[in-house]
Each structure stands twice: as structure tokens, then as C-alpha cells.
Amino acid sequence: MIDSIQIGGIATFDRAPEALTRLSDFNYIFGSNGTGKTTITRVIADQTKFPSCTVAWKGGTKLQTLVYNRDFIAKNFNQSTELKGIFTLGEKNVETLNKIASAKGELDRLNEKIQRLNFALAGEDGTGGKRGELAALDSELKNTCWAQKQKHDPKLFGAFEGLRNSAEKFKGRVLQEKASNSAKLESLSSLEKRAETVFGPAPTVQNTVPTVDMAKILAHESEHALEKRGVRDGFGSC
């Protein structure tokens, strides 16, 4: 048990040090507010924090101290701000709740950041922001590609087969070719000539040349007329 307490240099006892002696197993200290009751309990709880005070233990054997004061309440009791009338008891529980509160604060900050990013991404109504800008650029690209298709349609008609009725599909083909086609770029005039050859009018079918009968040709060599010499002049021949 505590044999005596010397208190000075702190709080109420800064100018008038006091000594509590002849203490028994049970001691009752009373006084009005500000007279030093809490200060005495703090010295008993952890004398090392108050080097100007001493706590003497009977027989020199220090025992474990258990002090219930406002410091104990602050460390071990916590009232939930969300559930009124709910308290938690225990220093570890308070520490856990403090971690939860800290985590909740971080979660709130992250949620706010997510909201800001969502607003930048999609705007207030979900159709603006970066997505709206992307949609506008995509529409502009589609219209630009379609305008080029219509411009060169008369001469490159066949090359656009399967893409003629969809500006979206035509834009997709343009992007696909840009990403995968590594062929050498050709001039427009060259492409138009190739298109005319490939996609021009279909060739017509011609009759095959009859096979020459060589036997008949050779038979003419025996004709009597071929054995005579002929003379040709201005009036005829014989």
C-alpha cells in the first residue's frame, strides 16, 4: 500500500507543496473543484511523469496502480458519434475505434476524389466530361471519313463495297487499315487506275479462233495454177 505522497511543483501544488502521510488501506480525499484531487490521482497513476513528486510505498514494495479518473475515462471510454448512448470500454477498443474513424475519414476522402474523377470523366449528367469530348471527336472523325468516301465514291466505288451504307463501319475500316496495313502508299491517280482495272466493266466473252487444218493448206500446193508464172502490169495479170 501507499505509505505517503509528496506533491509539489505542479498544478494546484505549485506554490504550496503538500504531503499526504499516515495513509491507511482506505483513504477518502474530498474538496471543491480545482483543489488538486485529480492531480493526486495522476501522480499515483504514473509518478515518473512528475519528477517533483514522490510516492512512497510501505515496505518499499511498489504495487500495480489502478486509477479511475478523467484520464482513464478519456483513454478507455469512447462514445460513438453515430450511435448516441453507445459507449465502448477498454483502451484497445478505443484504439480500434480510433483506427476505424481514421479509416472512415480516409474512405470519405477517397469517395470525394472518386466523385471528382467521375465528374471529370462523365460530367454532371453522365454525357459530358472527357467521355463527352471523346464522343464528339469520334463523331467528327466519322464525318470526316464519310466525307472522303463520298468525295471519291465515283471512281473508287467498288473498293467501298460492304461499307457504303454505314459511316460507322467505314470509319472502323479506316482505323483498321491505319493500324494493320503496312503497304506502300500510292498516289490517288494510281489507285483510281487500279480501281478502274479491277472494278471496271466486266470483260465480254469472245469466240475462240478456229483451228487451222494444215492438211487442206498443204493440198493447195498441188494446184495446176500455182505451177505457172504470172506477170503483172498496169493492165492486168496473166
Give me the DSSP letters along 91-131.
HHHHHHHHHHHHHHHHHHHHHHHHHHHHHHHH-TTSSSHHH
The CA-based dihedral angle spanning residues 210, 216, 221, 222, taken in that order and rounded to the nearest 10 degrees? -160
- Beta bridge partner(s), residue 89: 77
Q: What are phi and psi of 209, to 5 degrees?
A: -70, 130
- Asked if residue 76 lies in contact with residue 90, where contact means CB atoms within 8 angstroms, the answer is yes
What pLDDT was estimated at residue 26?
A: 92
What pLDDT was estimated at residue 93?
A: 65
Cell, residue 197: 482495272
pLDDT tens over the chain, length 238 residues: 898 999 998 888 888 888 999 898 899 999 888 888 999 999 999 989 999 999 998 877 788 888 988 888 777 666 555 545 555 555 566 677 778 778 888 888 888 898 888 888 888 777 888 988 999 999 999 999 989 888 888 877 777 777 778 889 889 988 998 889 888 888 888 888 888 877 777 777 777 877 888 888 787 777 777 677 665 555 454 4
What pLDDT was estimated at residue 238?
A: 46
Q: How far apart (Å, rounded) are the C-alpha atoms in residues 64 and 57?
A: 11
> Model-level pTM greater than 0.95?
no
Q: How far apart (Å, rounded) are the C-alpha atoms in residues 232 and 176?
A: 76
Residues 6+ apart with CB under 8 A from 7: 13, 17, 18, 19, 20, 36, 39, 40, 43, 50, 53
- Closest CA relative to residue 2, chosen from 70, 68, 59: 59
Alpha helix (H) residue ranges in the chain: 37-45, 70-76, 91-122, 129-152, 167-180, 188-199, 214-219
CA atoms within 13 A on the CB side of 60: 0
Q: What are phi and psi of 236, to 5 degrees?
A: 150, -165
Question: Burial, 11: exposed, middle or buried (Cβ in 10 Å; 0-12, 13-18, 19+)?
Answer: middle
What pLDDT was estimated at residue 83?
A: 45
Residues 6+ apart with CB under 8 A from 142: 167, 168, 170, 171
Residue written as cell 480516409? 106
What pLDDT was estimated at residue 91?
A: 59
